Structure formats: structure tokens, C-alpha cells
Structure 1
Amino acid sequence: MYRYVKISFCLVVMIVFSICFLYSAHSFQQDSFIHQKPMSGIVGEDLELALTMLVDESVMSASIFFRAYGSTHYEEIHMETQNRNWQGIIPGSQLSSSGLEYYIVLTTNDGGWLATPTDAPNKSPHFVLIHPGKESQVFLDTKENNLLISADILILSPEFEELVLSEELVIALSFFNAPNIDTNSVQMKIDGEDYSSQTEVSDGIISLVPGTIKPGTHRIQVQMKTKQGLIIEPIEWKFRVAKTGIDLRSEIDFDGDLSVRQSAEYLGGYSKDVSGINGKMNIGLPWVKSRNSFRITSRESEFQQSQNRFSGKIELGDYLHIHFGDFNPRLSSFLLDGKRVRGLGIDLQLPSFRFQFVQGELNRPVQWSGKVDGGYQLVANKSSINSTGHITYFMDRTGYTFRQAINAFRLSFDFNSKFLFGIHFLKAKDEISSVEKEFSHQAGLNVDTTIAGLSESGIPVGEYTYSQFLDSVTLGGHSISFSDKNWGGKNPVDNLVFGFDIGSTFDNRNLKFDFSWNMSLSNKNIWDGAMTLTEMDTTLDDSLDGLIMGEIDTSSIPFDPSSVEDYIIINPYMTPLLPIDY
């Protein structure tokens, strides 16, 4: 059991300090699942990892990402499911006495994900102690029968099961931490063939460029002694040689599944049948993987936000991940923290540098709600009749949702986990042009007694399609007043968020300090666009005196608000109205 202390310091509207102690044991439980971390493992013996769902969460897939302690790259193994239990086995051949680091990621049908550990799992994975196994003792070609001893030898290349091109193959090991090696005793074999005469040993490095090696799986064995003549435990591992170019038949990995779901829902005396199709398809080459999934449901409707999901992800190693379709980016708790986006996402992660970029839409355009008065609506108190009996019907738009476009990025730096710094930016804006003024002549509207009572020659009470209403107005010699903006439904909005954060960790990550500063410029109504300085002067205090609200000199503002409308629309509906005085 260990103690975890976190101090966070965030400045948005106020500065908040908090210190909390968290305790953790070998059982990791969330609201959705529980995972029991193994106490230890043994080299050469398979290690099973299990996870049990606590709720009926729609999990599409689960993967274990693991590596030997000290390694920089994770290997991936897919978990199998039975009811609510997920299981995966790490082969004993891939365990190392240096220890095992791993984390588990579950992908849900809605494009989200769950993980253990929950906080930056790839940076702070679970650790399992791995004990050395009983390996066969392989001796040099000698009559000596001494016990084998261990030495701190590091394999540089190729890595275990790594796929390389024959012309790029370089075998290298480091014995920098084992200076007692007799360099003249080093023997290297590939598939039992002795390459010792071609092996170079100098400056703590053992290296071999074997030349042309045929495609397939090969086994390396390195044997050596100490300067005192003691035999060192042989080092053995396997690697793969690829054919020149890409041989899709032998190198490509493919898996996928397809499921159909049918259910009946009963609520409040009403029943509804819901059907859906879920599927996934994963394609992988040694250096690139593509993970794709989809969900098609009968809940999908043009009258609401999309219920279908189409997600894709391209992984170029551990360093570059490209998302497209529906995904759930996590940039910052003040920007995006798991909200669904449909578009493009880029995540470039290097040892001390990370760049995240998101572009797409948060909301798709919806023209109407699909019911009477759910797209067009007559407004009685704005409709009128003149002295000649001519009626002007005031028409309004309702039931719509603007397309909300989003652009965001985060740039962060990690200096040996001692000092962290990041900046972030988000721009989200409703597109007014995405909603049409006249969208369908078949949408229904209601003429009530108030509208019909304007005149006996007016349109009778009843339900009409938009087309029928237009014909009735024309036949009666009347007219329609239909504004191009400032409709009665939702107002289009604009939002700009930017900020930075710094942090540091102490006591082996048990003590953490964070500071964050963020600012949001939010406009709740951008129908009329941006104001100029002159309009701000006269709109807010009704006099052109060079002062905004009688206090702020317009000459002290270095720019015209209309010149930054591509970033944020400034008008009386923006909060704060004057960010320079905020």
C-alpha cells in the first residue's frame, strides 16, 4: 500500500488549493469494473490478467499493453470475453526478471474508453514483480562444468520478436554495466551458425552485421565468460526478417467481429423496439495498425444528434496516433475531457514532447424536430392586419440546431517528469449558414384561433404543411413576414478558451504540484456579428463620446473588435465584454 498526495492549484475564476490522500492496494476498482493485479510472476510461465465488469457497460474490445520494466515500447495482446469477464494471457516467454509494466484499455461501443490505471496509464502503468525462472543451462563448448552466473547485459537490437529488413539488420548488445566480461570469450550464433569471427567487441558494445539473412524467424545466442573464467548465462532471443517490400499475405494481421442486437423497451405505457449492429475491424502491419469500429442503431434520426458511431484509429508505434470519425479526445478538463467529436484527431507523443490536435464538429446541423410547429411557427402577437384587411403573418423558425465546429490543440513538455508545462487553445462556434431558413415545404405548422381570428378572410384554423400555408396566403392576397435572423429557437454561440499549466512531481510521483490558468470568452448570441469600436461606443452608452460605458477610452484599445471576428465575435452578448479589462 502506498500513499499518493496530489496538490492542485487552478486559476479560472478563483484560485483553489486542495490536498488529498489516496490509498491503493492490489485491487483496482472503478464504477464500471474491478481488476485484481497479480502479486508476481515467473519467467517462462504464462501470466493471466483478468477484469470483471460491474455494470452492463457496452464494451467492444479490451487490450493489454505490456513491456519489460525499463523498456520504451509496449506490446499489445487482445483480451477474450465471457459474460462480464475479460481475460488475457501474457506469454511466459515475454516476461523478464527486470519486472513487468502493463495497463488495460477497454473500448466502448460509443467510442469512449476505460482504463486501469485511470490516470495516464501509459505513463504510470501497473508494475508486477517477475521472478527468474528455471532455464536450461547451456554451456560453451568446453569440458568445464561450472555454475552459470548472471550479468547485466542489455539487448540493443533487434528487440524480441522485432521485424526488420535483412539489409538493415544490426545485432548489438551492451555490457557497459558488466565490465568484468572477457571480450575474447564472446561467441555469437544465429540459428546455431557461428558468427564469432565477424563479431566486434569494443567500448562495452557487442555488434554484428551478419549480411543477408533469409526472411523468417531466427534465433540469436550469445555466450561469454568473465575474466576469471566463470561462464555467464547465455543470452537468447528471437527476431524476424521481412521480405523486401511488404508481403501482405505473411505480414498483415487482421481480426474483427460483427454482432446484432435487438431489444424491446417499455416505458410509461409505451413500447419501442430497438435494433443495432456493432462491428469492428483491426488491420495491422508490424509498424502500423488500423483499428476501426462502427455502431448502426434504429435510434438514428435526422431530427436529433447522430446516434450512429463510426470510429477509426491509425497507430504508428507508440508515437503517433491518428483518429478519424467519432472519438473522445482528452486535452484538458477546461477544454475537452472525453466529449465526443466527429472529425480528425492527431496525437504525437515523444519522450519529452506531446502535441494533440482536434478538428471537427461537436454538433451536426438539425433542421427541425419532425413535429407540428417543430420547424415553422406562426407568432400571433407579431402578426397584424391593416385597415384594408391585408394580413401579414409573422413566421418564425424553431426546432433547429446549428452545426458547431471545433478546433483545439494542446502542446505540452515533460522534462524528466520533474517539470511539466503545457499550453492549450479551443475555438468552438455555431455555423449560422448550416440551418436553412426554408428547409422543407412538407413541415407542418398550426393555425390557431388567435391567428385565424385576425380576420374572417384569413386562413381557417387547422394544421397545414408549409407549402399549403403559402398557397393559402397567396390565394387570400395576404403576405408573410419571415426574418433572416434572430429566430425564436436557439441563438448561435461562439466560444474561445486558452490557457496554460505547469506542474512538478516529487517523492517518486507521490507528491504532485499543478498550476493552471485559463480564460474563456463566451458569446451567447452572434446573430448580428461583431461590433466595431464605434458601435461599441454608441451601443453601450448611446453617445459617440469616445468612451465605452463612460469609462474606457476607445483610443486605448489597440484593435478594432471586428478585426478579430475569425477568432471571437465581440458584441454586447460576449462575457466578459471587455477582456482587456477582465
Structure 2
Amino acid sequence: MSQGIHRILFLLILFCNGSDIFGQSTTQYYHKNPQSVQDGQDVLISVFMFIPDPIVSGMLFFRPVGEISYQELPMRYEGGNWAGVIPGVQVTGQGIEYVVILHKRKWGRIAVPLSSDPFNNPLSFTIIPSKKDIDQKTPKVKASTQFVDVDILILSPETGSVNRPEEVVIAASLFSTAIIDKSNFRILLDGQDQTKKAIMDEGILTLVPDDLSIGLHSVELLFKTTYGLDVTPVEWAFNVNKGMVNVSEGFKYKGNIGGQASSNTASGIN
């Protein structure tokens, strides 16, 4: 069966499976856009290839709408598709912009969307707000009658923010919490106790972490009152990303897209 017939049959199967499927097709791939994405829901991004030149690796880049830097995730080959999953914890806000870069075995790269500058022309999908009215900037606390509620102000990083590893400083203010024993605290980073590296100075708790990996990181602050009672733990999460300036510029000037786009290319659809 020729490559062209294979491609036509594949598209017919997709469109016959239901009217709620939206996608773009080029001479090289078919990509299905995420639809009706709920806040906090895992999102599958997949690309089906038509070209005979094998793909050896794929990378998914994504960012919240309005952000500058992309986060990146490796993709896997599953059932004829190159697929990557954006974790639900990072699916928040108004929408997500994304780019897929696939590396060919012989030479060159393929971008989804098919563009010479995909990082400045990403695809995107909107996010449907959840039924619960949750303020994403409010740190999550563990509710329990065994804890004392205290007003602790998170200074940095902001909940859900994207940061470069060398810029991360974990900081919290205890100015309005006179009942806290400032000499009795613990700070956990990704579940690991980092208390010995933290500094408490005039009501400001700070920690400069070492060698943060790319991805999502969690912080938990544990305090006690001057009477020895446990204070309600404060938890929040932030993202670390190395930044996309060099990657996008490298693709723009050095990357080889390969092939020609059809009249219905992904780069024209958001």
C-alpha cells in the first residue's frame, strides 16, 4: 500500500469516528488538537507521521498563554503516534500554547506547527474553568482541627510560576505571626528536608536551593507556636525551566523543517 493511500485511509478513519475530532494534516503528519480541556485535566498531545524517514525522538514544549518561557517534556512512540502528556497540575489559566519538535533519523527536524519559527507561532488550546472557584495564587493548606491557623505570606516563587533554576529563592514572611516560634520550623523541598540550608532573619524565612531540575517542584513549610502547637502546614508548587531563547533561535536558524506544507498546515490553526 502506498504512503498516499495509507494517509487517506488513516484520515477517513479519524473523521468517521466522530464529529468532535479536530486536526490538521500536512504531507508529513496528522495532528489532533485537544478539545474541551478541563482545568486540571491531563492533556494528550499526539502526532501521527506519514513520512518513511523514521523519527528517533520527540520533544513537547508548552507554556501557559501569556508566559514567555516554555517547559519541555520528552515524547514517546505509542501505537503509531508520537505522544506526550501535559500534567493536569500545569493545565490552568486561560489556555496552553505548545510546539512539538520531532528529530528524523537521517537529518533534520519537523515542527508542529509546520513553521520556520514555531516557538513564535505555537498551537494552542483553551481551558474550561473547573466548577470549583479556586484562587490559583493561594497556597494550599492542610485543614485539620489539630493545627493552629496562622497568616503566613508566601513571597516567592509564586504558586504555579515558571522560573529559571538560578533565579529560584524560596521565601516566606512571618511578620504578622507573633505566636510562631521562629526557632522551631522545617522546610521541605520535594519532600526532602532542607531546614539546615534555610535562613530565618527578622521574620523572613529564605532558602536558596541547589541544582533544581527542570519540572514541577513542591514546597512545604512546617512551624510550631510558642506554646508548642503545630501550625497549619503551608504547601505550594512552582515550575523550573531553563528558558527557551537559545532553543527557539537554534531551531529558527539551524533547524531543517523538511518537506512542504499542504494547504491545510497546522501553523495556520490555533
TM range (shorter): 0.5 to 0.7
Determine helix, strand or coil for the equivalent of 1:320: helix
Q: Hey, what's the Cα distance between the residues in 2 that align with 1:81 and 1:337? A: 21
Q: Hey, what's the Cα distance between the residues in 1 that align with 2:128 and 2:159? A: 24
Aligned length in residues: 191
Shift of 1:66: 0.5
The residue aligned with 1:121 is 118
Identical positions, percent: 21
1:83–1:337 distance in 2 versus 1, CA, 3 Å: closer
Q: Hey, what's the Cα distance between the residues in 2 that align with 1:215 and 1:321? A: 21
| Native 8 Å contact 1:158 1:172 kept in 2 | no
Q: Hey, what's the Cα distance between the residues in 1 that align with 2:126 and 2:252? A: 33
The residue aligned with 1:54 is 50
Shift of 1:44: 3.0
Q: Hey, what's the Cα distance between the residues in 1 that align with 2:209 and 2:169? A: 11
The residue aligned with 1:38 is 34
1:338–1:117 distance in 2 versus 1, CA, 3 Å: closer
Shift of 1:158: 9.7
Which residue identity lines up with residue 170 of structure 1 in the other structure? V
Q: Which residue, 119, 124, 127 being the options, matches 1:130?
A: 127
1:137–1:56 distance in 2 versus 1, CA, 3 Å: same
As a proportion of its length, which structure holds more helix?
A: 2
1:154–1:125 distance in 2 versus 1, CA, 3 Å: farther
Shift of 1:163: 3.5
Q: Hey, what's the Cα distance between the residues in 1 that align with 2:65 and 2:112? A: 18
Q: Hey, what's the Cα distance between the residues in 1 that align with 2:28 and 2:256? A: 18
Q: Hey, what's the Cα distance between the residues in 1 that align with 2:201 and 2:42? A: 33
Structure whose CA Rg is larger: 1
Shift of 1:48: 0.9
Determine helix, strand or coil for the equivalent of 1:96: coil
Q: Hey, what's the Cα distance between the residues in 1 that align with 2:248 and 2:163? A: 25
- Give 1:278-357 correspondences, 5 Å limit: 287=242, 317-320=243-246, 330=253
- Give 1:165-180 correspondences, 5 Å limit: 169-171=168-170
Q: Hey, what's the Cα distance between the residues in 1 that align with 2:209 and 2:251? A: 44
The residue aligned with 2:86 is 90
Q: Hey, what's the Cα distance between the residues in 1 that align with 2:161 and 2:76? A: 27
Q: Hey, what's the Cα distance between the residues in 2 that align with 1:131 and 1:137? A: 25
1:198 paired to 2:198: no
Shift of 1:130: 2.1
Q: Hey, what's the Cα distance between the residues in 2 that align with 1:154 and 1:118? A: 37
Shift of 1:329: 7.2
| Native 8 Å contact 2:90 2:160 kept in 1 | no
TM-score by length of structure 1 reads 0.27
Q: Hey, what's the Cα distance between the residues in 2 that align with 1:239 and 1:318? A: 14
Determine helix, strand or coil for the equivalent of 2:61: strand
Shift of 1:156: 5.8
1:114–1:191 distance in 2 versus 1, CA, 3 Å: same
Name stretches of at least 5 consecutive residues in structure 1 with no aligned partner.
1-24, 144-152, 174-182, 200-207, 222-233, 241-285, 288-316, 340-509, 511-582
The residue aligned with 2:102 is 106
| Native 8 Å contact 1:41 1:47 kept in 2 | yes
1:40–1:172 distance in 2 versus 1, CA, 3 Å: farther
Determine helix, strand or coil for the equivalent of 2:53: coil
Name stretches of at least 5 consecutive residues in structure 2 with no aligned partner.
1-20, 135-139, 181-185, 190-194, 222-233, 259-267
| Native 8 Å contact 2:218 2:236 kept in 1 | no
Shift of 1:40: 3.5
1:29–1:235 distance in 2 versus 1, CA, 3 Å: farther
Q: Deviations over 1:464-499 (max 9, x none)?
A: xxxxxxxxxxxxxxxxxxxxxxxxxxxxxxxxxxxx
- Give 1:515-534 correspondences, 5 Å limit: none
Determine helix, strand or coil for the equivalent of 1:35: strand
The residue aligned with 1:428 is none
Q: Which residue, 66, 69, 83 being the options, matches 1:73?
A: 69
As a proportion of its length, which structure holds more strand?
A: 1
TM-score by length of structure 2 reads 0.52
